[in-house]
Amino acid sequence: MKPLNFIALVLFICGVTWVVTLSERSVRRIQQTYYATITPFLKGGSSIESHARTFLEEIEHSKDLENQLRAIEEEYIKLRSIEGRLRELETENAELRRALDFKEKSRLNVIAARVIKRQPATWWETAIIDKGQRDSIGAGVPVIAPGGLAGKVDIASEDTCSMILLTDERCQVSVQVAGTPEVGILHGTRGRYGEEPRLILRHLSREAAILPGMKVITTGKGGLFPSNLLIGTVKEYTPGPVEGVALVQPSVNFDELGVVFIIAQKNEPEG
Amino acid sequence: MGWYHLSLLFLVITACIFQQFTPTFQSLCDAGILLVPLVFLCSAVTVGAGPMLLLAFTAGFLWDAQHVITPLPAALLGNPEVYDNPGGDVKFGYSIVLYGLMGFFMQGLQPLFREGKWHVSALLAGIAVFLYLSAEYLCITFVRGDLILTHSLFLKISFTALLTMLLCPMVFWVLYRLAGLFHHTISYEGLARERNTAY
């Protein structure tokens, strides 16, 4: 080996040792800086992509859109009348609650964000959203989407966040099978690609009375996720010698994750 | 270290940005094109061991900054009575080692590349991507436990390697252009043979 190559190899090994022994805090700071640096490219790319898609859709479906608009207008009128009735019921309900001295449930305070990139990562199920520390979002904050829980924030930079999706093996949630006392820990799966995502629910009783189609919701235990957020429905339950395991179909359509809602809650800022 | 080597560093960083916009193909088991490994592997065969290791360090570092999920601070891991096994993940920096190994793998057939047989290196890049992904998956499996090997996993790795390999000629073309621009010779023997034929 040439002396210069040997020196390069030694320097490389030193560099690797330095990187591998970095503290988790330093690594998160590096990742924050990385995301802050690529944010302009991501936002620019995402905006070009959405403009192009809208433009193409407009060209291709202008007739369809016209028909859809007419149908939506009719639907809108119908819904307005239903909404009026619902408002009355809501007022009545509120009055009854007050009369019964119910404690009002604290409503979730959410911040809407747009998914600007589903990560092209090979093994990790993550996405980047267009809100960050500037909107008081920190690591570990739950993210919901139409349908239910979608994941949690992993790295929060100034203007963007990287979120771990519920379908990732590293995203664990304490859940309950609705209508039963069965609680367990749910997480994503590994090794399944190009098919519908499934979630694994572990730590159930050996012979739990769980049937396909039952709803799975968050328990709120553990302090990470609020309670009663829909996760999905049981697809299959397998009793085991020690514990039962269920396969759950997520209620969120992760293929069409466009807008998500971050549940605003106090978290210590990182860094 | 010349301008050519610096341009390769720039190319790796550019690939990292373009990687954000590469799609994955659901019909091909979520396979995608891995631009950063591709640019690194093609570049590795055109330079010596020293610059290759520098490229491996840069590419691996950026790759991990983008992908590795670092454990959250203890305060955000939830109540340990409920979340008793938060699970681990691969350490930040593991990709640097994998990139370094793949770089040496590519350099194994450098003499053929220098003779102008770039297609052998292109094929080798496909194999290297396959090995890289397999090694990455095994590292994750080793840390998280439960060896899960499925048919779709094998297809995903194979399709990704294939799709990435198909772009090799384009990257080599860019590298030849850069080499010409910065007067860096990357195929000595090929050039020598050409010169002999001319005389």
**Which amino acid does the sequence have at A72?**
I
Residue A159 has pLDDT above 60, yes or no: yes
Q: Does A169 touch chain B (CB under 8 A)?
A: yes
Domains recognised in chain B with CATH numbers: 3-69+88-198 (1.10.1760)
DSSP label of B150: -
Residue A17 has pLDDT above 60, yes or no: yes
Of B72, B73, B152, the CB nearest to A193: B152
Distance CA B23, CA A100 (A): 55
Of A120, A123, A270, the CB nearest to B136: A123
Of A42, A124, A190, the CB nearest to B20: A42
Decide: B165 and B158 in contact? Cβ < 8 Å: no
Predicted model pTM: 0.79
Q: Does A190 touch chain B (CB under 8 A)?
A: yes
Average pLDDT over residues B93-111: 89
* Mean per-residue pLDDT of chain A: 84
Tens digit of each residue's pLDDT (9 = 90 or more) over A125-147: 889 998 888 888 888 899 998 88
Residue A7 has pLDDT above 60, yes or no: yes
- CA dihedral of residues B6, B8, B12, B15 (deg, nearest 10): 120
Question: Is A223 or A187 the better-scoring residue by pLDDT?
Answer: A187
Question: Is A46 or B24 the better-scoring residue by pLDDT?
Answer: B24
- Residue B191: band (very low, low, confident or very high) from pLDDT cuts 50, 70, 90: very low
| Burial of A220: CB neighbours in 10 Å, binned 0-12, 13-18, 19+ | middle
Q: Tell me which residues of chain B, numbers 63 to 122, contact chain A at a CB-CB cutoff of 8 Å.
A: 65-73, 75-76, 78-79, 81-83, 86-87, 89, 91-94, 96-97, 100
Residues of B within 8 A of A48 (CB-CB) are none
Decide: A199 and A232 in contact? Cβ < 8 Å: yes
Distance CA B45, CA B109 (A): 8
Interface A-B, measured as beta-carbon pairs within 8 A, has a size of: 156
Other CB atoms within 10 A of residue A49 CB? 13
Residue B65 to residue A124, Cβ atoms within 8 A: no
Residues of A within 8 A of B81 (CB-CB) are 222
Q: How far is CA A132 from CA A45, A112, A165, B119, in A?
A: 18, 11, 17, 45
Q: What is the pLDDT of residue A270?
A: 47
Distance CA A252, CA A127 (A): 14
Tens digit of each residue's pLDDT (9 = 90 or more) over B159-183: 999 999 999 999 999 998 998 898 8
Q: Which two tokens stand for residue A240?
A: 């085991």
Residue A28 has pLDDT above 80, yes or no: yes
Spell out the SS3 assignment of chain A: CCHHHHHHHHHHHHHHHHHHCCCHHHHHHHHHHHHHHHHHHHHHHHHHHHHHHHHHHHHHHHHHHHHHHHHHHHHHHHHHHHHHHHHHHHHHHHHHHHHCCCCCCCCCCEEEEEEEEECCCCCCCEEEECCCHHHCCCCCCEEEECCEEEEEEEEECCCCEEEEECCCCCCCEEEEECCCCCEEEEEECCCCCCCCCCEEEEEECCCCCCCCCCEEEECCCCCCCCCCCEEEEEEEEECCCCCEEEEEEECCCHHHCCEEEEECCCCCCCC
Q: What is the pLDDT of residue A98?
A: 65
| Least confidently predicted of B39-43, B45-49, B107-111 | B107-111
Q: Tell me which residues of chain B, numbers 167 to 186, contact chain A at a CB-CB cutoff of 8 Å.
A: none
Residues of A within 8 A of B61 (CB-CB) are 19
Tens digit of each residue's pLDDT (9 = 90 or more) over A188-239: 988 778 778 889 999 898 888 889 999 999 998 888 898 889 999 999 999 8
- How high is the ipTM of this complex? 0.83
Residue B188 has pLDDT above 60, yes or no: no
Q: Does A211 touch chain B (CB under 8 A)?
A: no
Decide: A129 and A111 in contact? Cβ < 8 Å: no
Q: What is the pLDDT of residue A271?
A: 42
Average pLDDT over residues B6-32: 89
Domains recognised in chain A with CATH numbers: 107-266 (2.40.10.340)
Q: Tell me which residues of chain A, numbers 64 to 103, contact chain B at a CB-CB cutoff of 8 Å.
A: none
